[in-house]
Amino acid sequence: MTVVRIGNEDIANALDEIANLLEIDNANPFRVRAYRNAARTVRGLGKNLETLVQQGRDLKSLPGIGRDLAANIEQMLDTGHMAALEELHKKFPASLEDLLRISGMGPKRVQALYHQLGIKSVPQLERAARSGRLCELPGFGSKLQQQILDAIAAQKVAEVRWPRAQAAMYAEQLVGYLKSIPGVSEVLVTGSYRRGKETVGDLDILVTAAKTDPVMQSIIAYQDVKQVLSAGSTRSSVILENGLQVDVRAVNQQSLGAALHYFTGSKAHNIQLRRLGQKRGLKINEYGVFKGKRHVAGNTEKQVFRSVGLPWIPPELREGGGAIDAARRRALPQLIERDDLKGDLHTHTQATDGQATIEEMVNAAQRHGLRYIAITDHSRHLTVAHGLDRKRLLRQIEHIDRINEAIKGITVLKGIEVDILEDGSLDLPDAVLARLDLVIGAVHSRFQLPRKKQTERILRAMDDRYFSMLAHPSGRLIGARQAYDVDMERLVRHAAERGCFLELNGQPQRLDLNDVYCRMAQEHGVLISINSDAHSVAGFGNLDHGIVQARRGWLSKKDVLNTRPVNALKRLLRQTRS
């Protein structure tokens, strides 16, 4: 047992840091890719690595984890450190990682800054940008210099937040731990986490128990606690070793529904509901619904809503964005559920940057209850992913045809994630794209084009007769890269006119489209495909994250392309080519 519990995200971050430093060191690209793939595998596991090791699982059985990588991971689980990373830290200052967190700064640019200008920290980078020194380097023009200054300024004011998917693992562990305490009956995570926000500032947890003291004592004694901020008889606040704050409140059963509603929020939603209560002579707070001093409701959330004449509103819609008005009119949508998905239209294999064969991905899709899967490896322009050229794609098409002849219960669709080049053309010729069931266009380069040029680039790509769907439409990476500057409303309108589709990418760092653009697409009648962008058999779990985002975007089953049976889906895909 380690002194400090090491989470999957800690290990993935260490592997990513090794990959970054190796790239700065001009190491073998295959070695760099191995560490990046290993980090992706660890993030996509869905199970805690420490638990797997304790259960006797051989880490080498995980996709992309060889003997050396397994040894590195086990070392970190045992000691809290990874010797391979510490060796690189002796060669490079740890502050180089801070440079990589600046939007637009990849390992290649950091490599140039470090080796040619001796820049090894964010303050040094800022001083060099302000003095104009960056323009001395090839590829660092005045425009990029200003973008770097803007990114540094944005980072300074940014609130420390956690990707929801990352916080989820810690939330699940805490819920399990608190439920194991004798006398505890219910444990519920509230706040922005329950509303399904992409990132969370902390974790708010409600507990009902016969006695509250054992709950408060147990949360303070939790093995991952680094600092106790406060400790009381009904509320305690702690900081975990990873820096995540956790607030635990004990409430009585009579107030559980009111407390669940209150602490779920949002603030705007709660204010609206309280005003409705005031019009009825009611006071609504975390303790219940009161008529004068008499407690009239609050055992359940449904009681709270019913007290002001409303049906229960799903937490994902409680952002003050019209849900209460819709509830008044009995016009709330029937939000999509995970079981509504029939297939996944964006997956990768080891032919490019994935970690499994087509057959392994198909078997995993079946285990996740899917009836079809599209294989959409990268095209040739994305050299870092060993993208497919014409010959390799044609061989893959033939391979998929043979698989479809041999399997039952699932259909494998032939696709490609084709690069949208700077001029708006697609990375492969129409003669090859015509052989596919679907073509997903994606921007993987030139993110900093001006708004007009970036928009026109994508519009031109969408006009290709074989274009089916726009992948991760804004190009953002949450916490790492801002969305490129593009007229999203124009893209949505064009998709409606063109008859093609937009993706909601469930990869936790993307979740792209966001909730606002999901609603925009819905209003324009554009179908959205909720895809996993799975690069391993564990990656299909991304569909769960995509569903949460879709619910925040008010999407119903009818709004989502891949809720259709495979024959109906194929008809819709063929229509994009008419």
What pTM did the predictor assign?
Answer: 0.80
Range name among 369-373, 380-384, 520-524, 555-559 with the lowest pLDDT average: 380-384
Range name among 5-14, 457-466, 553-562 with the lowest pLDDT average: 5-14
> For the residues 370-374, what does the mean pLDDT come to?
98
More confident residue, 382 or 316: 316
Over pLDDT 90: what percentage of the chain? 67
From the list 458, 454, 482, the residue with the least C-alpha distance to 469 is 458
From the list 96, 78, 76, 80, the residue with the least C-alpha distance to 22 is 96
Mean pLDDT, the chain, as a whole number? 91
- Residue 104's pLDDT is 75
> For the residues 206-226, what does the mean pLDDT come to?
94
Q: How far is CA 330 from CA 230, 334, 445, in A?
A: 43, 11, 45
Q: How far is CA 205 from CA 88, 172, 175, 266, in A?
A: 39, 11, 8, 15
Are 472 and 442 within 8 A, CB to CB? yes
pLDDT-derived band at 2, boundaries 50, 70, 90: very low
Is it the case that residue 158 has pLDDT exceeding 70? no
Q: Which two tokens stand for residue 402?
A: 């043979």
> For the residues 447-475, what does the mean pLDDT come to?
96
- Residue 156's pLDDT is 62
**How many angstroms separate the CA atoms of 459 and 449, rounded?**
14
**How many angstroms separate the CA atoms of 521 and 262, rounded?**
31
Are 539 and 347 within 8 A, CB to CB? yes
Is it the case that residue 157 has pLDDT exceeding 70? no
- Residue 127's pLDDT is 85
- Residue 117's pLDDT is 87
Q: Which two tokens stand for residue 6?
A: 């090491």
Is the preceding peptide bond at 103 cis, omega within 30 degrees of 0?
no
For the chain, list the domains and their CATH numbers: 8-157 (1.10.150.110), 162-250 (3.30.460.10), 255-328 (3.30.210.10), 338-575 (3.20.20.140)
**How many angstroms separate the CA atoms of 288 and 301, rounded?**
10
Are 546 and 515 within 8 A, CB to CB? no
Q: Phi and psi dihedrals of 468, rounded to 5?
A: -110, -40
> For the residues 133-146, what does the mean pLDDT come to?
83
Is it the case that residue 41 has pLDDT exceeding 70? yes
pLDDT digit string, tens, across residues 487-536: 999 999 999 999 999 999 999 999 999 999 999 999 999 999 999 999 99
**How many angstroms separate the CA atoms of 40 and 34, rounded?**
10
Is it the case that residue 204 has pLDDT exceeding 80? yes
DSSP assignment letter at 217: H
More confident residue, 420 or 83: 420
**How many angstroms separate the CA atoms of 548 and 122, rounded?**
35
- Residue 143's pLDDT is 82
From the list 141, 553, 65, 530, the residue with the least C-alpha distance to 342 is 530
Are 458 and 420 within 8 A, CB to CB? yes
> For the residues 191-219, what does the mean pLDDT come to?
95
What is the per-residue DSSP string for 528-543? Answer: EEEE--BSSGGGGGHH
pLDDT digit string, tens, across residues 78-116: 887 888 888 888 888 767 777 887 877 888 888 888 888
pLDDT-derived band at 4, boundaries 50, 70, 90: very low
For helices 164-179 and 8-24, give the axis angle rounded to 10 degrees. 150
